[in-house]
């Protein structure tokens, strides 16, 4: 399963890239606004840092303007993935872009039938938001299971990109279901390799090693 970093903060990306865990980056208008930086310059810099897909989202809601924005974003770098809302206009532009082999990420998906429409439009990625469903008292991971089954039925090539991740359990569940990608905030990436028993075990080993008086170097 691929791991994308959900951030537009260049410092965070630079800090986490050496882990070798980052396969791509997703951004959205809120993350760009939070960074306070120019969207085109930010996306260009991220694309230089990361070789994998980098999602850059349109902000228009009509087909004509959305397509113009998509064309601008797609020319920033070869690894830009144009992010589109799951609306009629978004699906229309998705179909146009997919016909031209432009990578697309259809976002704000909350139902299996929405995911079906995105796959039929040729989306490279579908982004179901599991955390937001959990916030409403639903089990967001059930949506991932349903989309996985629907896509398997028809051999769609659209990759399931699990978004709105709230913690490590969402990542575990996504991996068990067979999702293609999770996109996670930097703070959650750090939680994936943390475990109290790992910390305790390491402390015990080091304490015993100190007693030997040895040095490997």
- Residues with catalytic roles: 83
Helices (H), 19-139: 29-35, 39-49, 63-74, 88-99, 112-120, 130-135
Task: Give 157-183 as a DSSP string.
Answer: --EEEEBS--SHHHHHHHHHHT-SEEE
Coil, helix or strand for 119?
Answer: helix
Q: What is the dihedral of CA 158, 69, 91, 157, to 10 degrees?
A: -10
* CB proximity list for 98: less than 8 A, separation 6 or greater: 104, 121, 122, 123, 124
Question: Exposed (0-12), middle (13-18) or buried (19+): which is 217, by Cβ within 10 Å?
Answer: exposed
Nearest Cα neighbor of 101 from 127, 77, 81 is: 81
């Amino acid at each position: 399963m691929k791991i994308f970093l959900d951030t537009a903060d260049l410092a965070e990306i630079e800090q986490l890239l050496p882990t070798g865990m980052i396969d791509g980056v997703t951004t959205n208008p809120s993350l760009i606004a939070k960074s306070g930086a120019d969207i085109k310059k930010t996306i260009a810099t991220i694309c230089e840092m990361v070789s994998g897909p980098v999602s850059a989202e349109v902000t228009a809601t009509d087909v004509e303007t959305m397509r113009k924005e998509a064309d601008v974003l797609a020319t920033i770098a070869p690894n830009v993935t144009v992010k589109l809302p799951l609306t009629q206009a978004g699906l229309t532009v998705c179909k146009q872009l997919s016909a031209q082999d432009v990578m697309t990420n259809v976002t704000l998906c909350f139902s299996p039938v929405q995911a079906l429409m995105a796959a039929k439009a040729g989306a490279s990625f579908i982004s179901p938001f599991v955390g937001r469903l959990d916030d409403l008292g639903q089990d967001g991971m059930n949506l991932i299971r349903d989309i996985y089954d629907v896509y398997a039925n028809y051999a769609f090539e659209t990759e399931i990109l699990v978004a709105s991740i709230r913690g490590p359990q969402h990542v575990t569940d996504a991996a068990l279901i067979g999702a293609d990608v999770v996109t996670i905030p930097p703070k959650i990436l750090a939680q994936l390799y943390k475990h109290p028993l790992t910390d305790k075990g390491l402390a015990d080993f080091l304490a015993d090693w100190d007693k030997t008086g040895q040095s490997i170097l």
